[in-house]
Amino acid sequence: MSIENLSCNKSFGGWHKQYSHNSNTLNCTMRFAIYLPPQVSKGDKVPALYWLSGLTCTDENFMQKAGAQRMAAELGMAIIAPDTSPRGDEVADDDGYDLGLGAGFYVNATQPPWNRHYQMYDYVLNELPALVESMFPVNDRRAIAGHSMGGHGALVLALRNPERYRSVSAFSPIGNPVNCPWGRKAFTAYLGKDTTVWADYDASLLMRQASRFVPALVDQGEADAFLTEQLKPETLEDAASHSGYPLELNRREGFDHGYYFIASFIEQHLRFHAGHLAC
């Protein structure tokens, strides 16, 4: 598969690189970022953490604001950050920030016009890892994490595919999208009005029914403006209690929804993943 290098920056002995490629899954040109730790210079293949960002974000938000490279370099872990939606002039969009470009919600859309491009679930699960593992010194030991909409995506992907991921973590995830405004708007547009279909993309419902487990870590700021209406972390706690799911959910006093919060606890998340990736 042909990919184009857009940028390359040395960071903590490793390299942050940005690429574009033609996605067969999304029917458009996609961009992603990858951090390769210094261990790859010795010829080692390293495990990878896939990071899914939130509404309105691109691959750049996490890579530029979270301060994750220092710890990834120490642990010998690659980080891969895809964009949050398909992009391009022919890709369907909406006037709202919470639907369309920058708001793919990591689902496979079934409704027109969205179904032509919005297949982010399959892209993150299959196409992107296949590309990364064929083109870079990255092995098939994978973890997945994300923030807000991306936290929802990370949890859903891990819950539905426990054989693919060693661990999962999230900051401020949308825990019960079938019962919040963000989720209801996106799922109606992408998946249609049959709400029974929505359950396949709801982390709390999937966790409640889970019989195979991926260790999960969630951090939630108690001063998050979206806490009550949109995020609903109590639904994840209830689901984990019901199924015995190995979920650690930390409520962090005073922290909001932004990247100051993520930067404050990203080290703990990367060490959590490293323990399961055998870094």
CA distance 100 to 110: 14
Helix residue spans in 41-148 (DSSP H): 60-65, 69-75, 120-122, 128-135
Tokens representing 55 are 């509404």
The pLDDT confidence band at residue 1, using thresholds 50, 70 and 90, is low
Is residue 273 part of the annotated active site? The answer reads no
Which pLDDT tens digit goes with each residue over 251-265?
999 999 999 999 999
Q: What is the pTM of this model?
A: 0.97
The contacts of residue 3 (CB under 8 Å, 6+ apart) are: 19, 20, 21, 131, 135
Among the listed residues 23, 85, 148, 204, the single catalytic one is: 148
Which pLDDT tens digit goes with each residue over 74-132?
999 999 999 999 999 999 999 999 999 999 999 999 999 999 999 999 999 999 999 99
Is residue 242 part of the annotated active site? The answer reads no
Among the listed residues 16, 117, 224, 273, the single catalytic one is: 224
List the chain domain ranges.
3-278
- CA-based Rg of the chain, rounded to a whole angstrom? 17
The contacts of residue 146 (CB under 8 Å, 6+ apart) are: 51, 52, 53, 54, 152, 153, 154, 155, 170, 171, 173
CATH of the structural domain 3-278, one choice from 3.40.50.1820, 1.10.1270.20, 1.20.1260.10, 3.60.150.10: 3.40.50.1820
The pLDDT confidence band at residue 44, using thresholds 50, 70 and 90, is confident
Which pLDDT tens digit goes with each residue over 138-175?
999 999 999 999 999 999 999 999 999 999 999 999 99
The answer to whether the beta carbons of residues 51 and 178 sit under 8 Å apart is no
Residue 279 scores a pLDDT above 80 = no
Among the listed residues 147, 257, 269, 273, the single catalytic one is: 257
Helix residue spans in 66-123 (DSSP H): 69-75, 120-122
Q: What average pLDDT score do residues 208-226 get?
A: 98
CA distance 81 to 205: 26
Is residue 169 part of the annotated active site? The answer reads no
